[in-house]
Structure 1
Amino acid sequence: MASIVGHTQGVNNAIFDKESDLVYYLIADSGVLSYAGSLDVVAHEWAHGITKYMSNLRGRREAGALNESFSDMFGVAVEWANGSQNWVIAETSYNNLTNPPDYLHSLYFPPSRQQAETWGEGWWKNPRLTGPDSCPNPDTTNDSCWVTRNMGIPNKMFYLLANGGFFNNVTVTGIGIQNAMAIMFRATFQKYWKDSIDFARAATGSIKAAFELNYVSSWPQQTSKAWTAVKVCDTMPGDANGSGGIAITDVIYLVNYVFDKSRVSPPCNGTDPGTCWPIDPNCQGELNGDISVNIQDVIWLVNYVFDKSRDNPYCEGANPINCWLPIPTDVCCKLP
């Protein structure tokens, strides 16, 4: 990408133009430090160029919020790599030189700039076509269905994954900003995040990226916990009987489901009227990532429950984590 410095069509900002692939650094008003002078803002705009060619995330609804959030993640990560360790965007720019430095967004506390940090709560606005207070027509009057408000949710997730923290009764152990950024970059590069994706599928994509980057670490589990903390994820693959945990009883339940066994209570005979051992949503029984529930998932769950060793990829029992951690699918992105 090329850059144009001192552009006069607008002031106090930096902008990535999707049509020309140019980054414009706009002039500053008198007495103002332009956002174009902030390293994280510049990196934010360059990240939009990366997104365009790697995942082409749309600019509306949750995909638009994810697009903006990825740029914030990238901006913060670039500053950290250059010795400025903070969790806000544009802290070195402000509107009046007589006032203390300000910032545009906070990944640590998004509500400080009227952005959501929990799905469905607080500053969150419904970006979807249906449901209460839905947004059927994305346009400038609603910020393309609340992109700026809702980008705070993946921002908060990223902060928790990188730094760690306790939020919404979920404890996340931080894996470091470099590792967290590697996961998000791979999710974008591999197109696990693309087009008009929503947050739930983005969560699944980033957990998948964490698996691929470092299977035998805590990265997948902490990525899942970070998305769970902001309430994007709420279902646990492997919890076949819906008890809230994973145990031998789930193995028994899944065997009964796969082989469609009869059931005494409630009374049910095989496939009449349907499986006697329902799994809803489906991902509670889908563990190995092949998008179907079958005997292979039973084997996977047995290996997980009894924490078996594994030859490929090499893993010895619980060193450092369970070798058969369930692979989340679709909206089922909470790992045990």
Structure 2
Amino acid sequence: MKKTMLSIMLTAALVSTSCSFIGVSAKENSMNNPNAKDAITVSQNKNSASFEDQKTNIFFKGKSSAKIQITEKDILTYLENNKSSFTNASGKSNFKIISMKKDNLGYTQVKVTQSINNIPIRGSQFVMSIDKDGVIKNIIGSINKNYKPLDNVKAQCISPKEAINIAKKQFTYTSLAKEPTATTQIVIKDGTPTLVYSVNIYYTEPEIGNWEVLIDSLSGNIVSKESNIRYDGATTGTGTAVDGTNKALNLYKSGSNYQMIDSTKPMSGKIKTYTANNRQVQPGSLVTNTTNKFSTEKFKASVSAHYNAGVVYDFYKNLFGRNSIDDKGMNIISTTHYGRSYDNAYWDGEQMVYGDGDGTEFTYFSGDLDVVAHELTHGVTQNTADLVYRNQSGALNESFSDVFGVLVQSYDKCNVKNGGTWKFNANDWVVGDEIYTPNKPGDALRSLADPTLYDQPDNMKDYVNGSSDNGGVHTNSGIPNKAAFLIAKSIGCDKTAKIYYKALTEILSSTADFSAARNALVSAASQIYGDSSNEVSAVNSAFDSVGITE
């Protein structure tokens, strides 16, 4: 077989990290063909990772003066005889064939990786296009041109099992989707070959993670961690909510999957929605679908939670400039499908959790915007007044969540975000009407307009003393709830929201009782609208009506 010199114009630098790769040196085969006129041009690949040297792009075009047999053995012989055109390093087994495929035009496409002693150099690959007559038409790829010669030294490296254990410790996950394996590769940094193990770590809970970890086979140090997930970025979709309506959703596309992650809000965190898959775990698994249409029954609770969390964020951001729950851009996390027939929803101090209900007394708890707003407002309270959850301060904690639950739903119903007029409607002042007894219309969990409908007092003369329910936090909240209803009826929802927000976030202390709440709300109204304003009078009159004195 006639040998062909492939003259290479190199401009480039190379890739990798450190460890001592240990191999066996060998003299390279010389090659003599001064008449060769083929040329490979090269340019730098500027996308190389920082843990390895930059590779050199190679490009050969034109008819070679030699023909080769299209067999693995003859192709490798050709490459070894011409290796000085590819690399300046000495050694043996410099190439490995990854694949050979014949196309419908009669060309054989041969994918080749550079190697050292049969161990592939990471990312150093090229493709040879060979026609049916054995003539090389193209060679295209990127390689490591220069690296140090290898010494005849025996390596003492960690085992593949040890490498896998090191890789596992880099991540937090519930379980692995598949058992990792460790494969050997070489990376080159500053011209020094490094033998590494490549370990894939793939998990789906609590979020989807797919990582390649490179571990120095001699020291066990982490060379790099790279995500295999190809994030396509923010996108949109639709979903069917608990009430059967179609909702526009802000989603995130990751490869071929659509995830319930809303990254469109002007905050450092994101709105993320998970499913516990009817287990009592949290956050669970990120809600994901292969299309951007979340229209089946299993997604209804998650659609409502995700959409409603965005509405609550917008309410606090648009009205008060609040940057998420903590005003610092924290993630807003919801877990749906918690437990089996779980009749509750709660804020756990870090995130929201929603049960599915038993289908008779309750349906999916995330299906009512005022419930979602109620629970997320517990987070706002935690990060502001931090009202102690017992006795009167605890009842105030519940009351502020009820008040803002109603205000958020009313704000959304009136489309205030998009220029609608925010109108007071007494029928709006209920909580949980959309998820409580789904087959029985017209009832609710609580009414702020008339707390007595659901066994709550609406005046201090009926205040319930006792130790149960942390001193009656869900019962006695009816009294300040009634006052809030009367205030909104008098001055409207917009002014009520501003007064209540200022009192909650700036004036109330953690152990405030009902009287302190009255004083805080009067102070807020006075600061916003003036000491002698109608708004101050409305607050005083409402609290007088329910028997809460200064």
TM-score tier, shorter chain, comes to 0.5 to 0.7
- Aligned position for 1:158: 484
- Aligned position for 1:275: none
- Aligned position for 1:229: 545
- Aligned position for 2:390: 60
Distance 2:475 2:344 in 1: 20
**Alpha carbons of 1:10 and 1:33: their partners in 2 closer, same or farther (altered >3 Å)?**
closer
SS where residue 42 of structure 1 aligns? helix
TM-score (norm 2): 0.36
Q: Which structure 2 residues correspond to residues 174-253 of structure 1 after superposition, within 5 A?
A: 174-190=490-506, 192-215=507-530, 217-233=533-549
Specify every segment of 5 or more residues in structure 1 that has no aligned partner in the other structure, as ranges. 127-134, 164-173, 234-330, 332-336
- Aligned position for 2:346: 15
State the shift of 1:178 in Å.
Answer: 1.6
SS where residue 383 of structure 2 aligns? helix
Distance 1:222 1:29 in 2: 41
- Aligned position for 1:90: 432
Structure 1 segments of 4+ aligned residues over 3 angstroms from their partners: none
Distance 1:10 1:209 in 2: 42
Distance 2:447 2:515 in 1: 22
Distance 1:118 1:30 in 2: 34
Greater relative contact order structure (CA < 8 Å, 6+ sep) = 1
Higher helix share: 1
**Alpha carbons of 1:179 and 1:2: their partners in 2 closer, same or farther (altered >3 Å)?**
same
Specify every segment of 5 or more residues in structure 2 that has no aligned partner in the other structure, as ranges. 1-331, 415-424
State the shift of 1:143 in Å.
Answer: 1.3
Distance 1:10 1:63 in 2: 31
**Alpha carbons of 1:96 and 1:13: their partners in 2 closer, same or farther (altered >3 Å)?**
same
Q: 2:450 aligns with which of 109, 113, 116?
A: 109
SS where residue 11 of structure 1 aligns? coil
Distance 2:443 2:365 in 1: 11
Residue type at the aligned position of 1:88: V
Query: Over alpha carbons, which structure has the higher Rg?
Result: 2
**Alpha carbons of 1:33 and 1:10: their partners in 2 closer, same or farther (altered >3 Å)?**
closer
- Whether 1:125 aligns to 2:455 is no
Q: 2:358 aligns with which of 29, 52, 59?
A: 29
Higher strand share: 2
SS where residue 336 of structure 2 aligns? strand
State the shift of 1:194 in Å.
Answer: 2.3
Residue type at the aligned position of 1:189: T
Residue type at the aligned position of 1:25: Y
- Aligned position for 1:310: none
Q: 1:51 aligns with which of 359, 376, 381?
A: 381
TM-score (norm 1): 0.58
State the shift of 1:61 in Å.
Answer: 0.4
Distance 2:340 2:348 in 1: 12
Q: Which structure 2 residues correspond to residues 276-291 of structure 1 after superposition, within 5 A?
A: none
State the shift of 1:214 in Å.
Answer: 1.0
Distance 1:67 1:30 in 2: 28
- Aligned position for 2:336: 5
Distance 2:482 2:470 in 1: 21
Distance 1:187 1:10 in 2: 37
Confirm or deny: 8 A CA contact 2:341 2:358 kept in the other structure.
no
Confirm or deny: 8 A CA contact 1:62 1:147 kept in the other structure.
yes
Distance 1:75 1:9 in 2: 26
Taking only aligned residues, the RMSD between alpha carbons, in angstroms, comes to 1.8
